[in-house]
Amino acid sequence: MSDTLPQGGTPSLHPESELEDDVLVQVDNLVKHFPVKAGGLIGRTVGQVQAVDGVSLTIRRGQTLGLVGETGCGKSTLARCIAGLIPVTSGRVTFEGRDITNLSRRAMRPFRREIQMIFQDPYGSLNPRRRVGAIIGDPFVIHKTATGAQRKRQVQNLMERVGLNPEHYNRFPAEFSGGQRQRIGVARALALRPKLIICDEPVSALDVSIQAQVLNLLSDLQDDFGLSYLFIAHDLEVVRHVSDAVIVMYLGKIAEAGPKRPIYEMPRHPYTAALLSAAAAADPKLAAARQRIILTGDVPSPINPPGGCRFHPRCPKAAELCSQQEPPLESKPGDPATHVTACHFPVEAGENLALAGRRERP
């Protein structure tokens, strides 16, 4: 909870360069807890799922912030909070300097044009009974920005822009392949020329050859429209490819954050190091040379997260201190100020965690 949070202000990815113009979204100390109800009609609240627990971040104009973590680490919940799809428990989200935390539907409406989402499942996120033209045209209808022939023209322009045949305006989603459906989702998100698109695992459901098509499309659109992306994925290579800065989450908290290069080349948090070592490189020599850090066990339940550092039960470097005191998210000696790590015993250059990790294989 907030009283156990690191002191000394909220960590930002770029704390030293607070150029207001550059910041699109600022998230401060965001907390989202879901009540766990006991059975029965009324249901007492018997616990809290601490899905997101004190996360601060900054999304800059025209940049991509990558968000990685395993199932249940709170990355999708965080995205939904930023998009205003679910109310937050505490904390603050500002968009272009204006507080948009827990706004009413009406007050939120102008911001919905600016923040759009692309979802993981290109099958589940499109209504199968509606024609593609109507699906992509919905934002124009809802926000009353274009009607009739003008709307159709705009939709067809969008379809062309994302690589779909505009003549397929009247087709149903089922007539498209997975990659094409994801393009429909992109076109819909793009319709109102948003400033931020939150991409929640946009390519995870696609085959590799198609995945590259969609990633290239997203990067073109970013260049053309100056879009910012919050890019959520569990595939570290994909995140490395698209991101300028990266946040690694574990059990609702930021484990490590910073510019892309130091995170990938010199990870300081043992969890980041383990994730990177576990990601399978498509190169047999690299795969053979790499020493995988095998973490023991699974991610614990966010209802009752471990005390101290939440990663300590699985951490190859865990010591007494880790189970008692929560490590602050701070820049470690030798790292750039923008690279922050929440760890008492950050990984040092040349350290071999793989051997430590083998110690207690189940």
Q: Does 179 bind other proteins (CB under 8 A)?
A: yes
113: contact with other proteins by CB under 8 A: no
Between 128 and 297, CB nearer to other proteins: 297
Q: Is residue 48 classed as helix, strand or coil in its secondary structure?
A: strand
| Closest distance of CB 241 from other proteins, Å | 4
Q: Which residues contact 221 (CB under 8 A, 6 or more apart)?
A: 161, 162, 186, 190, 227
Q: Name the minimum Å distance from CB 287 to other proteins.
A: 4
CA 35 from chain centre, in angstroms, equals: 23
Spatial distance between the Cα atoms of 46 and 2, rounded to a whole number of angstroms: 20
Q: In this chain, which of 209, 223, 333, 350 binds other proteins, going by CB under 8 A?
A: 209
When asked if residue 86 is in the footprint of other proteins (CB under 8 A), the reply is no
CB closer to other proteins, 34 vs 264 = 264
Q: At its nearest, how many Å lie between other proteins and the CB of residue 166?
A: 12
Distance in angstroms (rounded) separating the CA atoms of residues 317 and 147: 61
User: Residue 258 in 3-state DSSP?
Assistant: strand
How far is 219 from 221, CA to CA, in rounded Å? 5
Amino acid identity at 84: G
Instruction: Identify the residue among 18, 207, 320, 348 touching other proteins (CB under 8 A).
Output: 207
Strand pairing report for 23-37 and 115-118: unpaired
Between 140 and 231, CB nearer to other proteins: 231
User: Which one of the spans 22-30, 131-139, 236-244, 340-348 is the region binding other proteins (CB under 8 A)?
Assistant: 236-244
Q: Which is nearer to other proteins, 125 or 180 (CB)?
A: 180
362 binds other proteins (CB under 8 A): yes
Q: Does 191 bind other proteins (CB under 8 A)?
A: no
Helix (H) or strand (E) holding 336: none
Q: Quick one: 41 exposed, middle or buried, by C-beta within 10 A (0-12, 13-18, 19+)?
A: exposed
φ and ψ of 113, to 5 deg = -70, -30
- Asked if residue 30 binds other proteins (CB under 8 A), the reply is no
190 binds other proteins (CB under 8 A): no
- 116 scored as a contact of other proteins (CB under 8 A): no
Q: How far is the CB of 118 from other proteins (least distance, A)?
A: 18
Q: How far apart are CA 119 and CA 265, in angstroms?
A: 29
The dihedral of CA 188, 154, 227, 160: what is its sign? positive
- Examine residue 71 and tell whether it contacts other proteins (CB under 8 A): yes
Binding site for other proteins (CB under 8 A): 70-71, 163, 177-180, 207-213, 215-217, 219, 234, 236-238, 240-241, 264, 274-275, 277-284, 286-287, 292-295, 297-299, 361-362
